[in-house]
């Protein structure tokens, strides 16, 4: 039985995210760049997840399936990073506290192993959650 852990989620830019958005957000390269969660090795171990396998990330605001990878800019135990994009935004809070700005950095999330669940492509992830019919 797989564990689940709670981590503090932040999101932000990466070079790969930048290149991928210019190539096209409908493409697999966008999912490769942004449909991931970078976790500190200590957190991966606590979770009991293999590197490069899928996990489900859940917050009070939603959930999303992404690929768990080892942190590239660590160590940062307790902090997890999903590059900015629709995967991260499936779980961040829309509460702006009257500033207009959502809290993209600092969302408590639960991460659990979801090895058989697929990571969706960028555009389809958003369309699915919005209930948009795709012909």
Give the residues lining the site for another protein (CB under 8 A).
Answer: 8, 10, 12-15, 18-19, 21-26, 61-62, 71, 73-76, 79, 81, 84-86, 89-90, 92-94, 96-106, 122-127, 129-135
Instruction: State which residue, 3 or 23, has the beta carbon closest to another protein.
Output: 23
- Residue of 3, 132, 103 whose CA lies nearest to 56: 3
Residue by residue, DSSP assigns 37-88 as EEE-HHHHHHHT--TTEEEEEEETTEEEEEEEEE-SS---TTEEEEETTHHH
Smallest distance from another protein to CB 95, Å = 9
Q: In Å, how far from its chain's centre is CA 6?
A: 14
Instruction: State which residue, 98 or 116, has the beta carbon closest to another protein.
Output: 98
Task: Give the three-state DSSP class for 12.
Answer: strand
Smallest distance from another protein to CB 100, Å = 3
Smallest distance from another protein to CB 2, Å = 25
Number of Cβ atoms within 10 Å of the Cβ of 109: 23
Smallest distance from another protein to CB 32, Å = 14
Instruction: State which residue, 2 or 72, has the beta carbon closest to another protein.
Output: 72
């Amino acid at each position: 039985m797989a564990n689940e852990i709670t981590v503090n989620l932040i999101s932000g830019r990466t070079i790969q995210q930048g290149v991928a958005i210019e190539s096209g957000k409908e493409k697999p390269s966008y999912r490769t760049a942004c449909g991931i969660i970078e976790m500190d090795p200590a957190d991966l171990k606590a979770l009991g997840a293999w590197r490069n396998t899928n996990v489900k990330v859940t917050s009070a605001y939603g959930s999303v399936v992404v690929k768990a990878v080892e942190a590239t800019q660590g160590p940062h135990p307790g902090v997890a990073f999903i590059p900015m994009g629709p995967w991260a935004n499936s779980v961040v809070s829309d509460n702006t506290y009257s500033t207009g700005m959502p809290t993209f950095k600092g969302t408590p999330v639960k991460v659990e192993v979801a090895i058989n669940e697929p990571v969706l492509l960028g555009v389809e992830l958003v369309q699915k959650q919005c209930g948009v019919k795709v012909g």
